[in-house]
Amino acid sequence: MLKRSKLTILQIIKNSSKVKKLVISSALAVTLCGCQSSNTDFQQKNAKPASQRTPATVVRVIDGDTFIANTEGKKQRIRLLLVDTPETVHPNKPVQPFGKEASDFSKKTLKDQKVQLEFDKKKRDRYGRLLAYVYLKDGTSFNQTLLVKGFARVSVFPPNEKHKKEYKETEKKAKQKHRGLWGIND
């Protein structure tokens, strides 16, 4: 399919004027570059290899940054590390802007999926939840995906800071592009 598409595009370029060739070539370059960017924002220098992560199967997504999974022989509540999505189910807070979008995205992406959990220095929070960096089947960091889409902001609770630098940079890019919650005041 890709070979046929390239051939067709090359034929169009060959049969076009110089200005059209420039426009078509530019559009093609932008399109091809956009297709290549899926995992480059999610590469984490300090991430453990998949073989050193803990497997889990997501059973239920509670909100944008919390879910229940079967792992370590039982159902456990997992809280994503270093990210905080707007509230949707907090008992004392109203639904916040982009909370529903973040929650819906997490449900769509994680429900019934097999994921890998990576832990940091402190494994549980004061509520007994497992604290984890979550990786999808393709190795993509789900925590970082939420930041890229503007569905979360970086939230640091020491000593768990392993990916703080990368996440801050990702959040900065989302702000610059006015994605999600960073575009509310536009």
Active site residue 129: yes
Amino acid at 178: H
Cα–Cα separations (whole angstroms), residue 154 to 12, 36, 52: 46, 25, 25
Nearest to 57 by CA among 129, 140, 115: 115
Active site residue 72: no
Amino acid at 142: F
Bridge partners (DSSP) of residue 80 are 132
What radius of gyration do the chain's Cα atoms show? Answer: 20
Look at phi and psi of residue 165 and say left if phi exceeds 0, alpha if psi is from -120 to 50, else beta: alpha
SS3 118: strand
Helix (H) or strand (E) holding 62: strand 54-63
Q: Which of 60, 77, 129, 179 is catalytic?
A: 129
Active site residue 153: no
Q: Which of 87, 118, 166, 171 is catalytic?
A: 87
Q: Which of 4, 53, 77, 79 is catalytic?
A: 79
Q: Cα 4 to chain center, whole Å?
A: 32
Amino acid at 6: K
Q: Which residues are catalytic?
A: 79, 87, 129
